[in-house]
């Protein structure tokens, strides 16, 4: 092979190698983050006829699943190439409507995060339910009948007390202004509690975190 041709082929070979490495990385991850959104905070920003079904239906949601996210020790994969279709059919989405009450949310979570799990669509949402059912949500922070204000650290401790094996290094509170936005809980691939330094560092540390009531 002549030298100029070999030189032209080298960049192509490098690109193929990088592409393969990226695909391999997207199919492997270290643990899951289960994100539980406080629905009243989300719904407080949804106005008018375009409100999400999560906010405009007859049911008053409290904690709902924002997503189940494959995670690396540092960073996370997203929008991975997958054998499954990008669109989630309603027949699959409806199996988690009680904990993820929006096809828009379900479809987005599959495309951004579920595609990196190595699971089928049905398998991913079955795993999402399994992770959700692993968590005991303390009544103190899930009642939703009246406005509640607590330190972020106290919310974390209430979850830790309700879930043997969980530690404050494996849970992170996320805030939107002064309001509770979501709670992120780190789980192994077989849904055992584990610590997660990077996720924990990103948590909200406010002394006053408001939980708006369900309406």
CA torsion angle 63 104 79 98 (round to 10): 40
Residue 50: the pLDDT is 56
Residue 21: the pLDDT is 34
Residue 8: the pLDDT is 41
Residue 51: the pLDDT is 64
pLDDT tens figures, 3-54: 443 444 334 333 333 333 333 333 589 999 999 999 999 988 776 545 677 8
Name the residue among 177, 167, 178 with its Cα closest to residue 200. 167
Task: Report how far residue 58's alpha carbon sits from residue 53's, in angstroms, rounded to the nearest whole number.
Answer: 9
Residue 47: the pLDDT is 64
Residue 201: the pLDDT is 96
- Residues of the chain short of pLDDT 70, as ranges, are 1-27, 47-51, 57
């Amino acid at each position: 092979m002549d030298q100029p041709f070999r030189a032209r082929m080298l960049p192509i070979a490098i690109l193929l190698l990088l592409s393969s490495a990226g695909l391999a990385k997207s199919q492997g991850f270290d643990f899951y983050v289960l994100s539980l959104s406080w629905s009243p905070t989300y719904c407080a920003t949804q106005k008018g006829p375009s409100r999400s079904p999560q906010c405009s239906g007859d049911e008053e949601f409290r904690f709902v699943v924002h997503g189940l996210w494959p995670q690396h020790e540092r960073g996370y994969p997203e929008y991975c190439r997958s054998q499954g279709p990008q669109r989630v059919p309603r027949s699959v989405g409806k199996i988690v409507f009680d904990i993820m009450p929006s096809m828009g949310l379900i479809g987005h979570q599959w495309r951004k995060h579920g595609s990196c799990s190595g699971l089928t669509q049905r398998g991913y949402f079955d795993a999402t339910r399994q992770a959700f059912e692993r968590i005991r949500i303390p009544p103190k922070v899930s009642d939703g009948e009246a406005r509640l204000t607590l330190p972020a650290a106290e919310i974390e401790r209430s979850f830790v007390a309700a879930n043997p094996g969980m530690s404050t290094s494996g849970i992170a509170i996320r805030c939107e202004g002064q309001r509770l936005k979501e709670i992120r809980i780190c789980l192994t691939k077989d849904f055992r509690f584990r610590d997660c330094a990077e996720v924990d560092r990103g948590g909200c540390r406010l002394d006053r975190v408001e939980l708006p009531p369900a309406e």
